[in-house]
């Protein structure tokens, strides 16, 4: 959104007071040659999530918000409402509120549920036992299977030399 506004501002046609003549008269030649000119209309650090890499994501969020404001997170809802209300770049974003005591208790409860899961070592041990049992059945089945239906592996080639008749 910030980049779109900046591009639109830069692409507007020059007014009569902003001709090339007035630009060249207002700036000395040394400034034109040796200094970089930066034209930022808002601080970039104010909304760091609005970059070129996240533009597709923000656009999808905005389209979803236009269809149903409840379908996006509350922080995005506030951001888009502020932007549509005409908030200048850098002021539309409001950081989320800090966690309250009740929400901290919910986080602690969620962490206790994670700790209540079975022991990981026991889980790995059981998995390895099942894998070794499966492999034992595979090896045993390979030895029992009749893999040589012609019985060629039982022939002793040294006892019966091959004769070629023409």
Sign for the CA dihedral angle at 35, 41, 42, 44 comes to: negative
Q: How many structural domains is the chain composed of?
A: 2
User: Do both 56 and 126 map to the same domain?
Assistant: no
Sign for the CA dihedral angle at 95, 101, 105, 111 comes to: positive
Who wins on pLDDT, 11 or 139?
139
What radius of gyration do the chain's Cα atoms show? 37
Question: 153 lies in a domain?
Answer: no
User: Do both 70 and 104 map to the same domain?
Assistant: no
Beta strands in 8-154 (DSSP E): none
User: Do both 75 and 118 map to the same domain?
Assistant: no
User: Domain range spanning residue 75?
Assistant: 2-97
pTM for the whole thing?
A: 0.33
**Most confident segment among 9-18, 64-73, 111-120, 146-155:** 64-73
Percent helix, strand, coil in the chain (nearest 5)?
60, 0, 40
User: Do both 127 and 137 map to the same domain?
Assistant: yes
User: Do both 113 and 92 map to the same domain?
Assistant: no
Contact between 82 and 2 under an 8 Å Cβ cutoff? The reply is no
Question: 159 lies in a domain?
Answer: no
Identify the pLDDT of residue 16.
Answer: 47
- Distance from C-alpha of 145 to C-alpha of 137, rounded to nearest angstrom: 12
User: Do both 13 and 78 map to the same domain?
Assistant: yes
- Distance from C-alpha of 117 to C-alpha of 123, rounded to nearest angstrom: 10
Residue 44 pLDDT grade (very low, low, confident, very high; cuts 50, 70, 90): very low
pLDDT digits (tens, 9 = 90+) for 82-134: 888 877 766 666 666 666 665 556 555 544 444 545 577 888 889 999 999 99
User: Do both 84 and 127 map to the same domain?
Assistant: no
User: Do both 113 and 84 map to the same domain?
Assistant: no
pLDDT digits (tens, 9 = 90+) for 1-37: 666 666 556 655 555 445 455 555 555 554 455 556 5
The residue count of the chain comes to 166
Identify the pLDDT of residue 7.
Answer: 58
Decide: residue 70, CB within 10 A, 0-12 exposed, 13-18 middle, 19+ buried.
Answer: exposed
Cα–Cα distances in Å, from 3 out to 44, 78, 91, 112, 120? 10, 20, 15, 44, 49
């Amino acid at each position: 959104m910030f980049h779109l506004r900046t591009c639109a501002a830069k692409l507007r046609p020059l007014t009569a007071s902003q001709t090339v003549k007035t630009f060249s008269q207002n700036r000395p030649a040394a400034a034109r040659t040796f200094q970089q000119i930066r034209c930022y209309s808002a601080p970039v650090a104010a909304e760091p999530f609005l970059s070129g890499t996240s533009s597709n994501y923000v656009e999808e969020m905005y389209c979803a918000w236009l269809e149903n404001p409840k379908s996006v997170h509350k922080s995005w809802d506030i951001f888009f409402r502020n932007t549509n209300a005409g908030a200048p770049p850098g002021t539309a974003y409001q950081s989320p509120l800090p966690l309250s005591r009740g929400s901290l208790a919910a986080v602690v409860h969620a962490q206790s549920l994670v700790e209540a899961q079975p022991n990981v070592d026991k889980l790995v041990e059981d998995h390895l036992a099942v894998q070794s049992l499966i492999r034992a059945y595979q090896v045993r089945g390979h030895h029992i299977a009749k893999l040589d239906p012609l019985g060629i592996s039982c022939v002793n080639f040294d006892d019966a030399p091959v004769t070629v008749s023409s």
